Amino acid sequence: MTRFGELDHYLFANATHYEIYKKMGAHLGKENGIEGVWFTVWAPNARSVSVIGEFNGWNENADVMKKTGDDGVYEIFVPKAKEGELYKYCIMSQKGELLYKADPYAFSAEMRPGTASKIADIETYQWKDSSWMGQREKNDPQKNPVAIYEVHPGSWKKHPCSDENPDGFYNYEYFAKTLTEYVRAMGYTHVELMGIAEYPYDGSWGYQVTGYYAPTSRFGTPAQFKYLVDYLHRNHIGVILDWVPAHFPKDAHGLADFDGSAVYEYADPRQGEHPDWGTKIFNYGRPEVKNFMLANALFWVEEYHIDGLRVDAVASLLYLDYGKKEGQWIPNKYGGNQNLEAVEFFKHLNSLVTGRNKGVMMIAEESTTWPKVTGDVHDGGLGFTFKWNMGWMHDFLDYMELDPYFRKYNHNKMTFSLTYAYSENYILVLSHDEVVHLKKSMLKKMPGDPAHKFKNLMAGYSFMIGHPGKKLLFMGQDFGQLREWSEQRELDWYLLREKSHEHLQAYFRDLMLVYKKYPALYANDTAEGFEWINADDSERSIYSFIRKSPTGKNNLLFVCNFTPVDRPDYRVGVPKGKQYRLILDSSDVRYGGESKDRKQIYRAVKRECDGREFSIGYNLPGFGVAIFRY
């Protein structure tokens, strides 16, 4: 009997075996009434393949696998193998070399520095998130609030190190409860988890994957990871995973030169290697490789109930010359630098994942001006749900790091993004990449004395929340982490014993509550949903604008002052002669300011300002932000 039949071969060869992980890898089963494990692996250029493990004393000759067809798929049933045991494939190359490879489709892996795969059953977990999953199918992410907390599980919080837990890692179950408590209290709608698919080197943060189908064993078992997702869902929190389809490392046990030849990567290093990263590039011109990653995306979404994939390094796949010098790359058949196979892969990927799973988000980390990243595939687009807005992020940080005196000469850095804000469906991101490698934490980027740093950051976060687009913030930046992030230590939570950090955290939490409460901030991220009141007040470095709800009710007026100069007589033009209710004031004593018992209702008067017939007067403090509802 063979598990991998004629239909499996056909679908695999056409990159349409979307649940191939149910056939490839290690699966508990029975043969002739005897319990054991089926092992199946693709090694198209191998001379021979055997499975070795704890069940056969790692004997290379004990369990030799058989070919199931002409495409290099090998399989075997091993009666003595059982769940929890370690294994690898021993592959003899055409040159006679013996290679010891982890299973590309393994559901679990040995704790690093070990490199073996582990037999695991992922089918027995009893999910309890049916309410969330049912609601997800009805959701339109474009019209819903999306405020993402980006978190690295290994360095969010840690236990004291011990012999039993030398790294101090939280396991998935403990992490679920503590993370959920924090995320709910802060008002985020989603978490984005870094470094979940198995990887060997902590310093890669999970971006050099060796186990694409295995939640990292650093934090527990596949069942425990399902519990984490389940628990977050039951507490109304979505889960996004970092997903790395662009490249993989050269580790001896991984995908590189899998059977002694280029299997998952291009054979020509001008196509198959990133010179700067020292990694291999997936060969998406090969159907079996494309199938491996298409099925992997579905695997996380459908087997682990993941709500979105943040697709890493999209630009590095789209451009054949990405990070390469002349002579290090090969043009496409038309002579251009576009990777046509990657373009087709992304279109297939996004159509497949979102077509089969309504409400799931596909998010591109794409740093160039490639057109229609979030456009419809039938109209030449790539089909992503959202794109990270890297242009906004760079301009925003450049402006925020300036001494306030010089901001008036750089006023357009905060307005330019509105000229392209609706060309894609954007997420505004302040991610982990911006607080490492001597870039400083968000708070440390701010100019001025300590008090001014906190006020600057409050103003910056307010502008971000008011700007069209969904939101993402990396862990620690909502309470003013001082040190740069390091994967080797937990965040500096002790800072919350200081009032200034507590005030910043409280302000950001209240910003999140405003964001989720008012559809004007999330349901209308289009040109119809935003209007400048005054985009040109460069001399005073003040920005005022309105966000409009789809119904016209509960529109919001933002006024943001980016200098330390108080404006006690500040007047702002308003669209209608109505009353305006102050709903958030960054100078409130709750946030470390000096305002208390401030007037809440401001009646517009017929007095021209900012080209408007009506206006309101307001005492605007230095670095002050006021959000009004009307």
CA triplet 600, 606, 610: central angle to 5 degrees? 85
For residue 322, the one-letter residue type is Y
Rg (CA), the chain: 27
Q: Which residue in the block uniquely carries the two structure tokens 């209290």?
A: 185
Residues 6 or more apart whose CB falls under 8 angstroms from that of 190 comprise 146, 147, 148, 149, 237, 238, 239, 240, 307, 308
Please confirm, yes or no, whether 395 is among the known catalytic residues.
Answer: no
Ranges assigned E (strand) in 549-611: 556-561, 567-574, 579-585, 601-603
How many residues appear in the chain? 630
Q: How far apart are CA 389 and CA 416, in angstroms?
A: 13
Catalytic residue, chosen from 150, 365, 424, 434, is: 365
Helix axes 172-186, 222-234, angle to 10 degrees: 20
Decide: 245 and 293 in contact? Cβ < 8 Å: yes
Please confirm, yes or no, whether 365 is among the known catalytic residues.
Answer: yes
Q: How far apart are CA 216 and CA 487, in angstroms?
A: 15
| φ and ψ of 222, to 5 deg | -55, -40
Catalytic residue, chosen from 110, 312, 395, 510, is: 312
Q: SS3 for 67? A: strand
Q: How far apart are CA 90 and CA 105, in angstroms?
A: 15
Decide: 63 and 141 in contact? Cβ < 8 Å: no
Ranges assigned E (strand) in 457-500: 470-474
Helix axes 287-298, 6-13, angle to 10 degrees: 100
DSSP label at 500?
A: H
In sequence order, what are the beta bridge partners of 556? 547, 629
Closest CA to 446 of 417, 403, 476, 481: 403
Peptide bond into 550 cis (omega under 30): no
Sign of CA dihedral 544, 509, 193, 357: negative
DSSP label at 563?
A: S
Closest CA to 36 of 85, 107, 108, 69: 85
Instruction: Give the residue numbers marked as catalytic.
Output: 312, 365
